[in-house]
């Protein structure tokens, strides 16, 4: 496949669809939305408004990093602060699909208001083929696949979606990113789920629990950086485990699972064979640097029967 030609065609098609109007792109910092945003910016220039919803569920320092990277590409990013709204919607929820639904509805409420305020009528989304397949099969509802779950963006939220990457899988998306001139650090970035760290907190999603998993995720990313893995992250489990402090007192603390997988397209995945010293370093850093953790486990399950994320 000729990715340069693919990009050219998508740029042309976005230009044609939007006509004299304006569009909005939801940037998350991930590869898919980054590539979609650059396609949109090349098609529409200043008529593309780029929004970054700070949902409070991002990786460490994410909003600032994203704004800087895109500023270097000449693309202005507007940050919408909405963490409170997301945490309010997630409060008390423990069921995975209910959490995903709450996230999705909050996202579109916050986002549709920002879109309406901008006066744009089109929404560019970074949906890719794997999202559509998994949602159709009912494995899990991806927050970015509205039509597949019978939620009309037009009827429910008042805008029309454009999904230039929906025929591609991850490797193809990265190739489009490269021909568009994105920095390698961005198009090679590991995938991050739309609902963010809420996918990595089992049980209730609170700011405190997200803070724990955010620090653990950073350690998991750092310690596995030199391996050619598809994704590496940490998950905070819903239960607690007994531990013991250095001076012999009982502790009852969090359980963190580290997930690191090899995969081509996220449809199947295998656990990365990390060397023992790396695994030991992971447990050491997580128990030392993340307060209240008494147990760290490494997840050995392939997909299937597991999925990559935990909800």
Footprint of ligand XMP (CB under 6 A): 131, 134, 139-140, 142-144, 191, 193-195, 199, 231, 266, 303, 307-309
Q: How far is the CB of 301 from ligand XMP (least distance, A)?
A: 11
In this complex, which beta carbon is closest to ligand XMP, that of residue 131 or of residue 223? Answer: 131
In this complex, which beta carbon is closest to ligand XMP, that of residue 18 or of residue 261? Answer: 261
In this complex, which beta carbon is closest to ligand XMP, that of residue 18 or of residue 220? Answer: 220
In this complex, which beta carbon is closest to ligand XMP, that of residue 233 or of residue 287? Answer: 233
Alpha helices in the chain (DSSP H): 3-18, 31-44, 62-72, 83-90, 96-118, 129-136, 170-179, 184-187, 207-223, 276-289
| 287 three-state secondary structure | helix
Q: How far is the CB of 108 from ligand XMP (least distance, A)?
A: 13
In this complex, which beta carbon is closest to ligand XMP, that of residue 219 or of residue 308? Answer: 308
Q: How far is the CB of 117 from ligand XMP (least distance, A)?
A: 24
Q: How far apart are CA 118 and CA 216, in angstroms?
A: 37
Q: Which residues share a beta bridge with 242?
A: 252
How many CB atoms are closer than 10 A to CB 300? Answer: 10
Q: For residue 70, what are its two tokens?
A: 């895109």
In this complex, which beta carbon is closest to ligand XMP, that of residue 63 or of residue 191? Answer: 191
Q: How far apart are CA 21 and CA 167, in angstroms?
A: 25
Q: How far is the CB of 31 from ligand XMP (least distance, A)?
A: 10
Residue nearest ligand XMP by beta-carbon distance: 194
Answer yes or no: are the C-beta atoms of 40 and 25 closer than 8 Å: yes
Q: 297 φ, ψ to 5°?
A: -125, 155
Q: Which of 258, 207, 235 is nearest to 88 (CA)?
A: 207
Q: How far apart are CA 40 and CA 201, in angstroms?
A: 33
Q: How far is the CB of 139 from ligand XMP (least distance, A)?
A: 6
Q: How far is the CB of 280 from ligand XMP (least distance, A)?
A: 26
In this complex, which beta carbon is closest to ligand XMP, that of residue 18 or of residue 32? Answer: 32
How many CB atoms are closer than 10 A to CB 310? Answer: 18
Q: How far is the CB of 103 from ligand XMP (least distance, A)?
A: 8
Q: How far apart are CA 43 and CA 116, in angstroms?
A: 21
């Amino acid at each position: 496949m000729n990715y340069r030609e693919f990009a050219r065609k998508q740029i042309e098609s976005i230009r044609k669809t939007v006509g004299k109007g304006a569009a909005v792109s939801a940037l998350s910092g991930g590869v898919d939305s980054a590539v979609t945003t650059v396609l949109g910016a090349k098609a529409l220039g200043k008529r593309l408004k780029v929004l970054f919803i700070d949902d409070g569920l991002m990786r460490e320092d994410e909003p600032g990093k994203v704004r800087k990277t895109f500023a270097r590409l000449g693309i202005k990013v507007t940050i919408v602060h909405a963490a409170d709204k997301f945490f309010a919607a997630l409060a008390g929820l423990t069921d995975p699909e209910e959490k995903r639904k709450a996230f999705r509805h909050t996202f579109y409420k916050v986002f549709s208001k920002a879109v309406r305020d901008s006066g744009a009528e089109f929404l560019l989304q970074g949906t890719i083929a794997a999202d559509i397949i998994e949602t159709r099969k009912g494995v899990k509802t991806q927050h970015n696949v509205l039509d597949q779950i019978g939620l009309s963006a037009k009827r429910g939220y008042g805008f029309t979606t454009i999904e230039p990457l929906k025929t591609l899988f991850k490797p193809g998306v990265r190739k489009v990113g490269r021909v568009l001139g994105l920095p390698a650090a961005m198009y090679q970035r590991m995938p991050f789920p739309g609902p963010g760290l809420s996918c990595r907190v089992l049980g209730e999603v609170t700011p405190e629990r997200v803070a724990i998993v955010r620090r653990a995720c950073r350690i998991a990313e750092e310690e596995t950086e030199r391996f050619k893995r598809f994704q590496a992250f940490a998950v905070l489990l819903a239960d607690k485990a007994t531990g013991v402090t250095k001076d012999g007192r009982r502790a009852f603390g969090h359980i963190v699972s580290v997930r690191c997988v090899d995969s081509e397209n996220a449809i199947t995945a295998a656990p990365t064979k990390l060397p023992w010293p790396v695994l030991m370093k992971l447990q050491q850093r997580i128990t030392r640097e993340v307060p209240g953790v008494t147990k760290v486990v490494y997840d050995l399950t392939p997909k299937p029967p597991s999925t990559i994320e935990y909800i």
